[in-house]
């Protein structure tokens, strides 16, 4: 019966399903239908594997630390973060400053010989590999598999005969070339390539900016799944060959078509234990980042068709909603970490810094029931917060939501400032700042922060309150409204609405900061008592 329902949805209903109003899939417990995106959060370039009845996802984290998130699911629809593969980025000295757009690009996770491997590129250094016996970690120290500027998006394949191979691409911004895919042999341990690379595909004519390859083998064919055409308006291609070094046939297996789901590509093919095939990919949504979708897959004549193929031409279109993977209703739903009461002795898995952190920036305190952010001196000559490393941030968790936080301020010296922020290439924050012995409640807006522009003060009022509630309401199109309260009940709008913008290769983020001008031996601080999200979609 389930297969019949799926067939009907496949042939008849996909256009109708795209009209279904979006809702959070983790609220569909017990339902037979899920709605895309399955994660309305910035988990860019997702890769997924199944081990038994468990699914593990990794995603790009760029310059954010801890880096390389590892997520878990039992149904491919609801996910939670179980850890990070990189507690700090290497080389350590290089990541003592903020490297927007650097760090961890599209990773690939694989199980091999009972262990877990992640291959990830740093476009400024090369391709690294780490190993673990458990996806939750701990993970090994990174090993350089191939050094070289501009090498990106690696994916390994251990063949049936024990030989190992690595496919990867080039980032034009670093390498000076792009739109080709390369394959190298590796040693059996997967720790190093051991010969020169071979070009197996040139996408310049039909598939410019081909990148993000994933290596698979099925029914005697080698397959390379790869996105092309660019992040925002691209498509998904699949290459296949009987020989690992080619030549490869090519086919577009998914494009936007008549849907509103732009750039549907860059992801992972995964098969359930019952034999269902699925494809996890991202959609670029501007300030929200690259959100995660789940598509059904059908194999026809040893070619995959991803999504819905109403006209039968072999090129699918992404679905907005579809029947859940078989047996998914048997498992409890995962919950992505968002809220934080700050009552534990570990930093929540949803939080990241802008680069490798220092202990002095901030720390949890179970004893005091808070997370303390110290007012640490900003880098010399910085015109704004773009290059400030000690921003305590997490991803936007939904299209529309309200974030509220309770904070206690102990700003001891002039020039110390702490508050709540929406951060990106443009940013806006609400804060408390000490100025000439007075405590000022402020809202500051900064346009083109990435270009070095200064901030503009758009709200300024004196306050003697040591405890304040800050609130940011985020609506559709990432319109943000800032407010504050003295009692946690009545909120007052502060400043103008703000249209969030993404960062460099990442979505806008929300969180907190605490800074000061110059060094002192006993800086002031802000204690965050709790942070709570209410989704409004």
Query: Looking at the annotation, which residues are catalytic?
Result: 45, 211
Within 8 A by CB and 6+ apart from 265, the residues are 212, 227, 228, 229, 234, 235, 236, 254, 281, 282
The DSSP output letter for 32 is S
Q: Which two tokens stand for residue 59?
A: 């995603």
What's the CA gap between 178 and 324, in Å, rounded?
37
DSSP, residue by residue, 426-448: SEEEEEEEEETTEEEEEEEEESS
Cβ–Cβ < 8 Å for 400, 536: yes
Within 8 A by CB and 6+ apart from 4, the residues are none
Cβ–Cβ < 8 Å for 44, 60: yes
Q: What is the 3-state secondary structure (H, E, C) of 392-407?
A: EEEECCCCCEEEEEEE
Q: Which two tokens stand for residue 113?
A: 């010989």
Report the 10 Å Cβ neighbour count for 147.
11
Strand bridging mode 67-73 / 54-58 = antiparallel
Instruction: Compute the residue count for the chain.
Output: 537
Provide the sign of the torsion angle of the four alpha carbons 171, 175, 178, 184, taken in this order: negative
Alpha-helical segments (H) within 88-177: 172-175
What's the CA gap between 375 and 410, in Å, rounded?
10
What's the CA gap between 492 and 472, in Å, rounded?
11
| Helix and strand counts by DSSP (H, E) for the chain | 3, 37
What's the CA gap between 272 and 180, in Å, rounded?
31
| Cis-peptide into 247, omega within 30 deg | yes
What's the CA gap between 514 and 524, in Å, rounded?
9
Residue 69, judged by CB atoms within 10 A of its CB (0-12, 13-18, 19+), counts as buried
What's the CA gap between 57 and 37, in Å, rounded?
15
């Amino acid at each position: 019966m389930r297969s019949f329902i799926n067939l009907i949805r496949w042939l008849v209903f996909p256009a109708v399903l795209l009209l279904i109003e979006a809702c959070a899939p983790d609220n569909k417990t017990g339902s037979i239908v899920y709605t895309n995106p399955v994660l309305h959060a910035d988990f860019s370039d997702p890769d997924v594997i199944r081990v038994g009845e468990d699914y593990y996802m990794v995603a790009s984290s760029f310059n954010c630390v801890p880096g390389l998130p590892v997520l878990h699911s039992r149904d491919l629809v609801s996910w939670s973060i179980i850890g990070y593969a990189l507690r700090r980025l290497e080389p350590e000295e290089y990541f003592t400053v903020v490297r927007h757009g650097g760090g961890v690009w599209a990773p690939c996770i694989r199980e091999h010989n009972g262990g877990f491997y992640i291959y990830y590129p740093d476009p400024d250094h090369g391709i690294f590999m780490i190993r673990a016996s458990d996806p939750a970690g701990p993970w090994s120290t990174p090993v350089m598999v191939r050094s070289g500027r501009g090498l990106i998006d690696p994916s390994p394949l251990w063949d049936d005969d024990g030989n190992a191979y690595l496919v990867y691409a080039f980032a034009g911004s670093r390498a000076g070339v792009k739109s080709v895919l390369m394959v190298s042999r590796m040693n059996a341990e997967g720790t190093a390539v051991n010969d020169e690379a071979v070009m197996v595909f040139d996408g310049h004519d039909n598939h410019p900016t081909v990148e993000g390859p994933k290596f698979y083998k099925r029914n005697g064919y080698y397959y390379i799944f790869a996105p092309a055409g660019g992040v925002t308006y691209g498509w998904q291609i699949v290459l296949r060959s009987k020989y690992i070094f080619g030549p490869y046939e090519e086919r577009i297996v998914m494009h936007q078509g008549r849907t509103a789901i732009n750039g549907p590509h860059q992801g992972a093919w995964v098969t359930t234990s019952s034999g269902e095939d699925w494809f996890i990919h991202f959609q670029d949504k501007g300030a929200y980042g690259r959100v995660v979708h789940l598509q059904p897959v059908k194999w026809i004549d040893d070619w995959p068709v991803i999504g819905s193929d109403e006209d039968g031409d072999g090129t699918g279109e992404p679905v907005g909603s579809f029947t859940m993977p078989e047996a998914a209703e048997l498992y409890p739903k995962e919950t992505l970490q968002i809220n934080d009461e700050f009552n534990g002795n570990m930093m929540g898995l949803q939080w990241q810094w802008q680069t490798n952190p220092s202990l002095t920036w901030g720390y949890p305190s179970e004893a005091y029931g808070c997370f303390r952010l110290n007012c640490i001196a900003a880098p010399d000559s910085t015109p704004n917060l773009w290059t400030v490393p000690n921003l305590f941030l997490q991803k936007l968790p939904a299209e529309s939501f309200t974030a509220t936080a309770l904070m206690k301020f102990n700003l001891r010296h002039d020039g110390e400032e702490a508050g709540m922020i929406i951060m990106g290439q443009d940013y806006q924050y609400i804060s408390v700042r000490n100025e000439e012995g007075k405590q000022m409640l402020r809202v500051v807006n900064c346009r083109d922060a990435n270009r070095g522009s200064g901030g503009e003060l758009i709200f300024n009022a004196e306050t003697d309150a040591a405890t304040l509630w800050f609130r940011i309401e985020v609506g559709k199109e990432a319109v943000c409204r800032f407010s504050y309260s003295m009692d946690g009940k009545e909120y007052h709008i502060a400043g103008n609405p703000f249209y969030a913008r993404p960062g460099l290769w990442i979505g806008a983020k929300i969180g907190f900061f605490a800074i000061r001008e110059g060094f002192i031996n006993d800086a002031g601080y802000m204690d965050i008592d709790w942070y709570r999200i209410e989704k409004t979609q």
